[in-house]
Amino acid sequence: MTLSSLPPLPMPRPISDQMYDLLVWWGLFLLQLIIWLFITFVMPYIAYRLLSVPLRRQERAGLFLDVLQGAIERGENAEEAIVSLAAAEPTGWLARAGWLGKLVAVWPYHLYCDVFGIQRVEKVFGKGIQDVATRLLEGVPLHEAIEPGDDLLPPQAVATLRVGGQVGDIRRVLPACRQLLADAASRTRAAVNYLALIVLGASFLGLPAVLCIADRVAPSVELMLMDMRLSPPGSFAALWAHGGMFRVLMAMGALSGVLILLAALYIRRPRRFGLGRAAAWLQYHLPWRRKRLQRDFSAMLAMLLDAGVPEPEAVAKAAESTANHILIRRAARVREAMERGVPLPEALRRLDGTGEFQWRLANAAHVGAGFAEALAGWQQSLDAKAFQQEQAAAHVVTSAIAIVNGLIVAAIAIGFFDVWLSIVRSCLLW
């Protein structure tokens, strides 16, 4: 049998119009269902995961400190406890996934398990605990084996632990580490306000729509006015002529970039982006962060002085525990002044220009009680003021962004309404 002798293949039957309409209807229905599920469930869950980043870091760091403190209080070897903790950490692909894997696979898997009540496998400490365990097995001391890049503790807590290890008593600095973790609640509460800022700023990401108006709608309106022999109203000309809209677009783009950068820094620590020194400078010059630095410095200094550490060394180590290069540099000047014979309260003027810390420390020295007990009230006051200033700054920034957003929208609307009013007036004259 040859190829030419084979019978011709039957032609495929075309899909009927009714079947085609049914397939299109079901396709659109499934697309709408997917979009609805994404907006209703996935987006709120992603927002929750992003907003709760500081609290989850606080929980992870608190659990690590609990393990460390429990091993020390029971008289066990803290290094062995951390190595056993690393051995219990899950190592599957869900535990090793990066941020993109979390967004695409891990978080939907967690949402699925939460909805249907399924026990899930979730990493607690991640790769950081494995790295610490490796260093400990290589013989590195505990206070040096923990690094800021491990994401087990905040950088200041890591520096505080190192100071405790250098002094020879890590247990004494654990309360100071826990005090650092308490700042996560204030940061998360401020982030709720910044969420509104980001949502408002998302409208600035609609730059293509504004560009379309500037490129197509505004020139068409100008041509229409020219055909009607009408001059553009002042509000319309100010916004769309002489580069006015270009400046608005540049401002909107810059603000959108700032919002994206702030969101990235909130999710990932500045050190991950190579902004450690810039973040330290900002940390020192923001009023609420500077107050917390003063709180942490004074708490560590009081602990070291009560432990009998020499004053110049106590000042240097207390500054190191803050992990802020500006404060460390100023503490070096304090130490140099003390080595020249200047008393500690007077030398601290180089750290605190207000003189309040100097007065508090001098008072504690005259009373003769423990420095930690004498400075506890001032540290609580600093903490309360820092919380108040951080929340106030969040509200002010959010309100300012809302006002700017409203002004831009109002300017565009007023410009076009003036055009229509000019056209209506000219038609009434005819």
Phi/psi at 340 (nearest 5 deg)? -85, 0
| 270 CB-side CA count, 13 A | 12
Q: What span, in angstroms and rounded, lies between the C-alpha atoms of 274 and 280?
A: 12
pTM: 0.69
Query: pLDDT tens for residues 297-321?
Result: 888 888 888 888 888 888 888 888 8
| 27 CB-side CA count, 13 A | 6
Residue 66 is predicted with a pLDDT of: 87
Answer yes or no: are the C-beta atoms of 151 and 157 closer than 8 Å: no
Answer yes or no: are the C-beta atoms of 141 and 149 closer than 8 Å: no
Residue 260 is predicted with a pLDDT of: 66
The span from the first CA to the last CA of the chain, in angstroms, equals 87
Residue 187 is predicted with a pLDDT of: 66
Query: pLDDT tens for residues 162-175?
Result: 888 888 778 888 88
Residue 9 is predicted with a pLDDT of: 52
How does 83-106 read in b/e, with b if 16+ C-beta sit within 10 Å? bebbeebeeeebbebeeeebeeeb
Residue 104 is predicted with a pLDDT of: 63
- Residue 93's Cα: distance from chain center in Å? 26
Q: What span, in angstroms and rounded, lies between the C-alpha atoms of 208 and 249?
A: 10
Amino acid symbol at 364? A
**Nearest alpha carbon to residue 255 among 70, 91, 402, 52:** 402
Per-residue pLDDT of the chain (430 residues; tens, 9 = 90+): 455 555 665 555 566 677 777 888 888 888 888 888 877 777 777 777 777 777 788 888 888 888 888 888 888 888 888 888 887 776 655 555 555 566 666 667 667 777 766 666 666 777 788 888 888 888 888 888 888 877 788 888 888 888 888 887 788 888 888 887 777 666 666 666 655 555 555 555 556 667 777 777 777 777 887 777 777 777 777 776 655 666 666 776 676 666 666 666 666 665 555 566 777 787 788 888 888 888 888 888 888 888 888 888 888 888 888 888 888 888 888 888 888 888 887 888 777 766 677 777 777 666 555 777 777 878 888 888 888 888 787 777 777 777 777 777 787 788 888 888 887 777 765 5
User: To which H or E segment does residue 411 belong?
Assistant: helix 371-429
Q: What span, in angstroms and rounded, lies between the C-alpha atoms of 67 and 300?
A: 22
Answer yes or no: are the C-beta atoms of 320 and 156 closer than 8 Å: no
8-state DSSP, 297:
H
Answer yes or no: are the C-beta atoms of 405 and 200 closer than 8 Å: yes
Is the torsion defined by CA of 307, 311, 317, 318 positive or negative?
positive
Helix axis angle, 244-267 to 183-202, nearest 10° = 150
How far apart, in Å, are the Cα atoms of 11 and each of 6, 8, 138, 234, 306? 15, 9, 74, 67, 95
Alpha helices in 38-121 (DSSP H): 43-51, 53-73, 78-87, 93-96, 99-101, 107-116
Residue 334 is predicted with a pLDDT of: 86
Residue 427 is predicted with a pLDDT of: 73
